């Protein structure tokens, strides 16, 4: 069986000789943040606490930058006498430690690391997850836990979907009415909530400590019913069509009404007022303050499912808002529908959420960003939307979490068996910024729900983002992946990850 490293490394060679044995006397030296990251893996996995050393040590975690090494790259060398993890930068060292944690295994009554030589670097610069905190609010501790889990798989961006029809989740001094009036509810009548400025700062700093950036999303001009609770003068009356009524009939929540909190799951009925200058004063306040709170390079302004905004008005809005964000010194990000606006700011990054086989002009809209010499983030909904239901199995005793609209249910195999460079016809790999796995929260209420929906499929997205392209590594196969993921079951359990025990995976037990 392949060694249980996920995502698959660029190069891994099992060496001859005995493994390295871990004991309570094993010493570790090097970068203190990396030492702490290793301890956070070793102690839950083995029950042992390694001894920190200032000098010679059996485990050495070191930085050794070189011009020939890629950012975030690392190397691991293990023999019977020592473990050496070398990172090209602090992120690379952190990722090397995550791989080392995966390699630790039980051998009878011993804990060992197999003799191995690994040289690794990421395929794509952007490797993200998205957490929807608007449909159901998830507190700071839950977000921090998800950051830990994502970072362990070498993901480096947390996209927070902070606003939607159901609620506004970020405190802004310039617009206090948003959280005062529009944050108290969620889907199904569940409690709402919001992040204070200090909460958001904690999330951003915690993510940075795990080498992740935060990408905040304020979705507009659609998905803005909650804005109307605070600022009715800049939002249109809800416009409900027959398709929306079908969703309401299936999932409840009633039809949206102006001035009343919305707790259903229909989409597309809301819009900001495109030709009112007060709208753009609002947008400038929101993104100006958010830009000052966000050290990362990206601000996401949504742009999806604006079904109640005419095509002409949508283009006007996207053009102005993307330029506004660019003028703030940030890189705008938008869902691929925004590519319908020919004059969108040319630095805007597109995020494709269509299917693996693009439909209804989605590929053409996605190419708008590339034609502007800006890259794409790939989030094909029928592969890496983590909120899609799993296929039925004998494990399912309760009503399943998740939805099925994206050609669902989505198996782990389908989440894995796609190639990023094949999604948009004719797209060069250089035009792909990376891969992101969104987790929408219409049915996701708790941290345990997040774990169950994300794991193990988040590992498939991580491998698509980090590992060599399909066909360039013997490990980049479904058969290899399912074996490697199955071997991580004991580690995930020890770390408290409530993963879905999919029948597709041969889970190892101890």
Output the CA angle 397-402-424, nearest 5 degrees.
Answer: 135
User: Which tokens in the block code for residue 364?
Assistant: 């053409």
User: Which tokens in the block code for residue 247?
Assistant: 């969703």
DSSP string, 193-212: --B-HHHHHHHHHHHHHTT-
Residue 276's CB is within 10 A of a number of other CB atoms, namely 14
Please tell me the distance from the alpha carbon of residue 299 to that of residue 438, in angstroms, as a whole number: 16
Cβ-proximal residues to 207 (8 Å cutoff; 6+ apart), any chain: 147, 158, 213, 214
Produce one character per residue of 176-206: b if its CB has 16 or more CB atoms within 10 Å, e if not.
eebbebbbbbbbbeeebbbbeeebbebbbeb
User: Which tokens in the block code for residue 342?
Assistant: 């020919």
Please tell me the distance from the alpha carbon of residue 22 to that of residue 12, in angstroms, as a whole number: 21
User: Which tokens in the block code for residue 77?
Assistant: 């060398």
DSSP string, 392-458: P-TT--SPPPSB-TTT-S--HHHHHS--GGGSSTT--GGGEEEEEEEE--SS--SHHHHHHHHTTHH
Point out the catalytic residue in the list 77, 237, 289, 305. 305
CB 469 within 8 A of CB 419: yes
CB 167 within 8 A of CB 186: yes
Per-residue CA distances from 1 to 52, 316, 412, 487 (Å)? 33, 56, 19, 9
14 is catalytic: no
CB 120 within 8 A of CB 95: yes
Residue 175's CB is within 10 A of a number of other CB atoms, namely 19
**Strands 376-378, 349-352: pairing kind:** parallel
CB 333 within 8 A of CB 323: no
User: Which tokens in the block code for residue 244?
Assistant: 């929306």
By annotation, the residues acting in catalysis are 305
């Amino acid at each position: 069986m392949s060694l249980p490293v996920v995502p698959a490394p660029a190069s891994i060679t099992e060496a001859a000789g005995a493994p390295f044995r871990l004991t309570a006397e094993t010493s570790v030296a090097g970068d203190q943040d990396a030492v702490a990251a290793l301890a956070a893996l070793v102690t839950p996995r083995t029950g042992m606490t390694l001894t920190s050393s200032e000098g010679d040590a059996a485990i050495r975690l070191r930085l050794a930058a070189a011009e020939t090494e890629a950012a975030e790259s690392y190397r691991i060398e293990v023999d019977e006498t020592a473990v050496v993890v070398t990172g090209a930068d602090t992120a690379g060292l952190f990722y090397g430690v995550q791989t080392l944690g995966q390699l630790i295994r039980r051998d009878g009554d011993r804990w060992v690391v197999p003799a191995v030589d690994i040289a690794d670097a990421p395929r794509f610069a952007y490797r993200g997850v998205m957490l929807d905190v608007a449909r159901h609010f998830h507190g700071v501790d839950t977000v921090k836990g998800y950051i830990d889990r994502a970072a362990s798989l070498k993901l480096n961006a947390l996209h927070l979907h902070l606003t939607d029809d159901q609620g506004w989740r970020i405190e802004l001094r310039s617009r206090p009415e948003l959280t005062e009036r529009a944050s108290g509810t969620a889907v199904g009548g569940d409690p709402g909530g919001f992040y204070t400025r200090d909460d958001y700062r904690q999330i951003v700093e915690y993510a940075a400590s795990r080498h992740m950036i935060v990408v905040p999303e304020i979705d507009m001009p659609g998905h803005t019913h909650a804005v109307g609770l605070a600022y009715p003068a800049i939002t249109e009356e809800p416009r409900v069509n027959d398709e929306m009524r079908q969703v309401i009939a299936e999932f409840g929540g009633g039809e949206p009404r102006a001035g009343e909190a919305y707790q259903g799951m229909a989409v597309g009925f809301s819009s900001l007022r495109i030709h009112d200058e007060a709208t753009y004063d609002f947008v400038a306040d929101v993104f100006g303050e958010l830009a000052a709170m966000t050290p990362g390079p990206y601000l996401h302004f949504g742009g999806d499912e604006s079904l109640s905004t005419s095509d002409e008005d949508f283009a006007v809005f996207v053009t102005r808002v993307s330029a506004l964000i660019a003028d703030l010194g940030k890189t705008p990000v938008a869902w691929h529908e925004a590519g319908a606006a020919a004059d969108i700011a040319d630095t805007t990054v597109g995020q494709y959420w269509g299917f693996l086989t693009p439909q209804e002009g989605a590929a053409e809209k996605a190419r708008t960003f590339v034609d502007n010499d800006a890259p794409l983030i790939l989030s094909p909904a029928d592969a890496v939307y983590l909120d899609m239901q799993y296929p039925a199995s004998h494990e399912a005793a309760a009503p399943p979490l998740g939805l099925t609209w994206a050609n669902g249910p989505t198996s782990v195999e389908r989440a894995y068996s796609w190639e990023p460079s094949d999604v948009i016809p004719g797209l060069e790999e250089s035009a792909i910024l990376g891969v992101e796995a969104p987790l929408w929260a219409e049915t996701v209420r708790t941290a345990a729900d997040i774990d169950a929906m994300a794991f193990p499929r988040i590992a498939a997205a991580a491998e698509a983002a980090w590992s060599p392209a399909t066909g360039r590594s013997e490990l980049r196969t479904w058969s290899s992946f399912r074996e490697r993921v199955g071997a991580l079951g004991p580690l995930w359990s020890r770390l408290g990850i409530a993963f879905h025990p999919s029948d597709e995976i041969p889970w190892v037990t101890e």
